[in-house]
Structure 1
Amino acid sequence: MCGRFALIAEIEAFLEAFGLIETDPFPPRYNIAPTQPITVIAAAQRQREGSNLPSRQSQLARWGFLPSWVKDPRDFPLLINARAETAAEKASFRAAMRHRRVLVPASGFYEWRREGKDKGAKSQAYWIRPKQGGVIGFAGLMEHWMGADGSELDTAAILTTGANAALSAVHDRMPVVIAPDQFDRWLDCRFQEPREVADLLQPVDEDFFEIIPVSDKVNKVAHSGPELQAPVTADPLPQKPGKAKKANDQLSLF
């Protein structure tokens, strides 16, 4: 799964990475948590002149997906992730998979490895980032929710898939990363149906991320500085057998 992530990027690098003309300024965010506003990249309603591919725009959405048919958010679970394998069929995500696919920019994410099966078992936090650095785009879904009182809210979830062999030592799920050369195809909901972009919903190659043990400060949302990503000493991760699924070399960096 993906329950915390970070976005640390200079504005110019961010614009270049996602092919944007402009975006609202944002500070570095080291500990983005559910229910907080996150930046998402969506296809613009108007296409670039002279191109048959959709242009892109950034906007804010609440991290915590609400299907449009939900009447009272207090009676509905907080959906921060959607399983890539089933999102196209699930009632909560089906419409968004067809009409509102987005990218969620990130510099990396945090994951916890529980040492034992008991609820009280000790856990170790890890900061997981691209080995080559830079900003990446998680596959995401967005939905516009409107309440009976006229209130409106844009909400989003991050798609996850089975972890590759390297990350499976920490957790059995990981965010789906969309390669830069596939951004337009993922965002193109006008001509690309969910079945036509299903090949993008695969784990990255094993050597794409580096896994860095960090302190448990990241457990608390109130902690939000660069010290969260400082390495700490931890026991080596166990080696797990298995093969990463190939993604047709889709995850070369910018």
Structure 2
Amino acid sequence: MCGRMAMTLPHEAMVELFAATPANDLPEVPNYNVCPTVQIPVVTAEAGLRQYRPMRWGFIPKWYKKPNGGPLLINARAETIAEKPAFREACRARRCLVPCTGFYEWERDSDDKPLPWFVARSDGAPLVMAGIWQDWERDGERLTTCAVVTTEANDAMARIHHRIPVILTPDQWALWLGETGKGASTIMHAPPEDALHFDRVSTDVNSNRAKGAALIEPLAE
């Protein structure tokens, strides 16, 4: 799964990378401890144009009577995304890219203590995850929300956790956004074994209040 991430990439660089038009209300970066329910920048393709815009991380189904009216849906499983009532419409019509520096995942030691890892691309490039999004509105309140798509972990990730975000390469961005026709289901799989780099990091990040660049620094061996 993906339950926490780091976003340190300058908005100007991301706008250029994705050839997108930026919104005026983007969340502040860098943020080394991005938690669910906060605003994150994502890339969408609407009316033939790419937009770089903020969304609430935590997908809200249209039938929720309030934002916390049911389970917090920060991830959507690739294996069932086209069938689940909460996600199937968004999967077909509202897909997005979620760029970040990397994400955190936790393993458990022999005493069941959560040990955090920071996962980033091996080549140092931005890590771009597949996402879905939709607008939610009720009683005058309107939110644009998103979830990260996950799939079964590859062997490298499985040592830590059995799920992994669907990570897209630049040649897959247009297909996921629906700019080059159908076939997005063919790219919902784990990345190659050597695509990601894993670093054990401080347990400071176990607190959602922790801040600062030290959170992603590898622990000394």
Which stretch of the first structure deviates more once superposed, 64-73 or 167-176?
A: 64-73
Q: Distance in 2 between matches of 1:151 and 1:23?
A: 20
Q: Distance in 1 between matches of 2:173 and 2:106?
A: 29
Alignment of 1:170-249 (within 5 A): 170-188=160-178, 191-192=181-182, 196-233=183-220
Per-residue deviation at 1:59?
1.1
Per-residue deviation at 1:189?
7.1
SS at match of 1:177: coil
Match of 2:67 in 1: 73
Match of 1:32 in 2: 34
Alignment of 1:74-113 (within 5 A): 74-113=68-107
Unaligned runs of 5+ residues in structure 2 are: none
**Residue 152 (structure 2) aligned to one of 156, 162, 165:** 162
The alignment yields a C-alpha RMSD, in angstroms, of 1.8
Q: Distance in 2 between matches of 1:21 and 1:102?
A: 14
SS at match of 2:164: strand
Q: Deviations over 1:206-235 (max 9, x none)?
A: 11111000011111121121010111146x
Residues 189 and 77 (structure 1), Cα distance of their counterparts in 2 relative to 1, 3 Å cut: farther
Tell whether the 8 Å contact from 2:20 to 2:43 is kept in structure 1 after alignment: no
Q: TM-score, normalised by structure 1?
A: 0.81
Per-residue deviation at 1:115?
1.9
Per-residue deviation at 1:190?
9.0
Residues 13 and 222 (structure 1), Cα distance of their counterparts in 2 relative to 1, 3 Å cut: same
AA matched with 1:135:
P
Q: Distance in 2 between matches of 1:150 and 1:191?
A: 35
AA matched with 2:203:
D
AA matched with 2:10:
E
Tell whether the 8 Å contact from 1:186 to 1:197 is kept in structure 2 after alignment: yes
Per-residue deviation at 1:74?
3.2
Q: Distance in 2 between matches of 1:181 and 1:19?
A: 14
Match of 1:19 in 2: 19
Per-residue deviation at 1:72?
3.1
Unaligned runs of 5+ residues in structure 1 are: 48-54, 235-254
Q: Distance in 1 between matches of 2:108 and 2:166?
A: 22
Residues 85 and 189 (structure 1), Cα distance of their counterparts in 2 relative to 1, 3 Å cut: farther
Tell whether the 8 Å contact from 1:80 to 1:156 is kept in structure 2 after alignment: yes
Match of 1:51 in 2: none
Aligned residues: 219
Q: Distance in 1 between matches of 2:193 and 2:97?
A: 22
Q: Kindly, what percent of the aligned residue pairs are identical?
A: 40
> Deviation above 6 Å: which 4+ runs of structure 1?
none
Residues 136 and 19 (structure 1), Cα distance of their counterparts in 2 relative to 1, 3 Å cut: farther
Residues 204 and 190 (structure 1), Cα distance of their counterparts in 2 relative to 1, 3 Å cut: closer
